[in-house]
Amino acid sequence: MFDVFYSTKQEGEGSVIGLLIVKQIADKQNGFIWVKSVPGRTVFMVKLSI
């Protein structure tokens, strides 16, 4: 999901590069991204160190 070429969208409907950027920021801040997904509902939690 954090691969720049991974997408569940149809071609031309957007990209997943935003998730890649968020992951890179979290990694640099010693943080993490938590994802929970079930059909019809996906939740992301991002935790960053101060």
pLDDT of residue 18: 77
pLDDT digits (tens, 9 = 90+) for 1-50: 566 566 666 666 655 577 888 888 999 999 999 989 899 898 989 999 87
Give CA–CA dist 46/35, Å, rounded: 9
Using alpha carbons only, give the angle 28, 32, 35 rounded to the nearest 5 degrees.
140
Write the single-letter amino acid at 48: L
- Total-model pTM: 0.59
CA atoms of 27 and 48, how far apart (whole Å): 9
AA identity, residue 16: V
Q: What pLDDT, on a 0 to 100 scale, did the predictor assign at position 15? A: 57
Q: What is the pLDDT of residue 28?
A: 93
What pLDDT score was predicted for residue 30? 93
